Amino acid sequence: MRYSAKERFVAKLLTSFPKLKLIIKYIYQRINFLIHKKKYVFKTDLKIEKISTQNSKHTFFGYYDRSPMSNDGKKVIFHSTSFKTHQEPNKCQEIDIMLYDIDSSKTSKISTTNAFNWQQGAKLQWLNDYEFIFNDYIKEKNQYVSKIYSLSNKKFRQIDTPIYDVHDNYALSLNFDRLTKLRPDYGYFPKTDLVQKFDYSNEGIVYVDLIQNNFYLLLSIDEVIKSHYHQSMDEAQHLINHIMISPNGNNFMFLHRWFNNGVRKDALMICDKNGKNLKCLADNDMVSHCFWKNSNEIIGYMRGVSKEDRYYSIDITDNKIHILDKLNGYGDGHPHINEHLLITDTYPNKSRMKELLLYDFNSNELRSIGEFYEPFNYYGQTRCDLHPRISYDKKYFFIDSVHDGERHLYMIHND
Residue 30's Cβ-count burial label (10 Å; 0-12, 13-18, 19+) is: exposed
Nearest CA to 160 among 138, 183, 131? 138
- Neighbouring CB atoms inside 10 A of 151's CB total 16
Q: Quote the pLDDT of residue 196.
A: 61
Q: Please report whether residue 246 resides in a domain.
A: yes
Q: Please report whether residue 30 resides in a domain.
A: no
Q: Please report whether residue 405 resides in a domain.
A: no
Q: Quote the pLDDT of residue 139.
A: 92
297 and 316 Cβ atoms separated by less than 8 Å? yes
366 and 357 Cβ atoms separated by less than 8 Å? yes
* pLDDT tens per residue, range 165-209: 999 999 999 999 999 999 999 999 998 777 666 789 999 999 999
Q: Please report whether residue 28 resides in a domain.
A: no
Q: Please report whether residue 160 resides in a domain.
A: yes
The number of helix segments (H) and strand segments (E) in the chain equals 4, 29
Number of structural domains in the chain? 1
Q: Please report whether residue 178 resides in a domain.
A: yes
In the chain, what percentage of residues exceed pLDDT 90? 81
Residue 307's Cβ-count burial label (10 Å; 0-12, 13-18, 19+) is: exposed
Read off φ and ψ for residue 170, nearest 5 degrees. -135, 160
- 3 state SS for 233-299: HCCCEEEEEEEEECCCCCEEEEEEEEEECCEEEEEEEEEECCCCCCEEEEEEECEEEEEEEECCEEE
* CATH number of the domain where residue 178 is located: 2.130.10
Give me the domain span that covers residue 98.
Answer: 55-338
Question: Measured between alpha carbons, how far is 32 from 120 in angstroms, rounded to an integer?
Answer: 29
Question: Measured between alpha carbons, how far is 17 from 216 in angstroms, rounded to an integer?
Answer: 38
Q: Quote the pLDDT of residue 55.
A: 74
Q: Please report whether residue 224 resides in a domain.
A: yes
Distance of CA 18 to the CA centre of its chain: 22
Q: Please report whether residue 132 resides in a domain.
A: yes
In the chain, what percentage of residues exceed pLDDT 70? 98
Can you give the pLDDT of all 415 residues of the chain as single tens digits?
677 777 677 677 767 777 777 788 788 888 888 899 999 999 999 999 999 887 768 999 999 999 999 999 999 999 999 999 999 887 778 999 999 999 998 999 999 999 999 999 999 999 999 999 999 999 999 999 999 999 999 999 999 999 999 999 999 999 999 999 999 999 999 987 776 667 899 999 999 999 999 999 999 999 999 999 999 999 899 999 999 999 999 999 999 999 998 889 999 999 999 999 999 999 999 999 999 999 999 999 999 988 899 999 999 999 899 999 999 989 999 999 999 999 999 999 999 999 999 999 999 999 999 999 999 999 989 999 999 999 999 999 999 999 999 999 999 999 8
Entry pTM = 0.94
